[in-house]
Chain A
Amino acid sequence: MKNKSLISIHDYSKNDYLRIMDLAEEFEKNPRSYGNLLSGKVIATLFFEPSTRTRLSFESAIQRLGGSVIGFTDSSSSSVSKGETLKDTIKTVSQYSDLIVMRHPIEGSARWASEVSDVPIVNAGDGANQHPTQCLLDLYTIRQTQGKLEDLTITMVGDLKYGRTVHSLIQAMSYFSPSFHFVSPEELKMPNEYKMFLKEKNIPFKESNELGEVLKTSDIAYVTRVQKERFSDPMEYEKVKNAFVLKNEMLEGTKSNLKILHPLPRVNEISEDVDENEKAYYFRQALNGVYARMAIISSILGLK
């Protein structure tokens, strides 16, 4: 992993996943032992489109390890708005920094950046394509809540068509013999290519448009946002929007080890009364993002 960019979840092997998770766990257990690990290192966070949550998570990870941060929070305040190409921006910033974290609205931009950069790139989201650090923090969170990754039943809820986090998670979990339930509105069903992928790997999955019953057999419920603008017919959205909201009473009779995850930000797809339930784990999941990113950055820089 040393000096290797992380652009896509496919860049890492199963062993790489496990290594990152173990390292994240080490950082979580000994938060005070690594405050100088990145000292003297300069890491650039280039956000060509704003994503406050992801940026803060990365910057927190860098600063907890004693590294310093340079960068911009959206492209309007940078030379990009003056018409500079991505290539030139990356090439220049790679002279100033030891590693670049970038988020960009164009798909494939991070791979391109990794080809022109003199330092490793960590993709913090390239349009609808990849967001590999989210996937690794999801894996870490699943392992943490269940004590293992093997043989789990994972229910994915919401926008399964456009949600890149669920697509990446399916692929990453495929190493650990999972079962899946997909619960979504008709218009936002899991795309065929991912279902074909699961069939090829003999991984069982069921599709439904009703959340209640499948929750009872689940170890993990991974909830994502159903966005109005994804529907061709706004009436259709109004019809289905409440059918995919997770409410506290729906958690009655579910398995004791069930945990609710969500990549955040949440809008209304998880009722606020779920927050108090011990099965709600999404804020802890956000904290795990910091540990996972600490692990990713330090292993790319060859410091751990």
Chain B
Amino acid sequence: MESKDMKELKVSAIKEGTVIDHIPARSLFKVISILELQKMDTQITIGYNFESKRLGQKGIIKISDKFPSQKDLNKIALFAPEAKVNIIRDYKVVEKDNVQVPDNIEGIVKCMNPKCITNQENVKTKFTVLEKKNVTLKCNYCEKITDQDHFEMR
């Protein structure tokens, strides 16, 4: 009985699925919402405020039996540029990927220009990525710049 409880509490390894590691703790809940984890029906384990040498405090997400597309995973690069994606098959990491800031972003963040149509009417934001390192976005509507210090979720 005790051993079974321990096993469930440990929640560590998953048999098949995706583990997203190295998410800055402050971005974890944004990442959860970008990936729409709340809509998934498989077992998901979320770790928050884990110690990390590189990030200070990090978050980790383990999704059983689901393999989100690279395109979807790249969307989290805006908030978790250093995230590592591990593909797990039969308890083993069979693939390790980085996330990459895409060339175009739809939705996800707000345009920082309050006079922009996307902040006035029900219009989904669209940006062209000008700079991927210090992520800089140009709004396709008002043509103003939104930089990563001003990212705010839609």
Contacts and interface: CB of A to CB of B under 8 A. Distances in A.
A-B interaction: yes
Contacts of A50: none
A284 to B, nearest CB: 30
Interface stretch (A17-25, A106-114, A250-258): A106-114
B4 interface: no
B116 interface: yes
Interface residues of B, number: 17
A107 B115 contact: yes
Interface in A83-116: 85-87, 106-109, 111-112
Most chain A beta carbons < 10 A, residue from B111, B117, B122, B145: B117
Interface stretch (B76-84, B85-93, B136-144): B136-144
Contacts of A86: 117, 121
A130 interface: yes
Interface string B124-150: 000000000000000111111100000
A129 interface: yes
B141 A108 contact: yes
A106 B123 CA distance: 13
A193 B143 CA distance: 12
B121 A129 contact: no
B131 to A, nearest CB: 12
Contacts of A112: 117, 121, 123, 141
A111 B144 CA distance: 13
Given A112-B141, A130-B143, A107 B121 contact: no
B116 to A, nearest CB: 5
Given A85-B122, A86-B121, A111 B140 contact: yes
A127 interface: yes
A87 B123 CA distance: 9
Contacts of B113: 107
Interface of B: 111, 113, 115-118, 120-123, 139-145
22 contacts: A8-B143, A85-B121, A85-B122, A86-B121, A87-B121, A106-B115, A106-B121, A107-B116, A107-B117, A107-B144, A108-B111, A108-B118, A108-B141, A108-B143, A111-B117, A111-B140, A112-B117, A112-B141, A127-B142, A128-B115, A129-B142, A129-B143
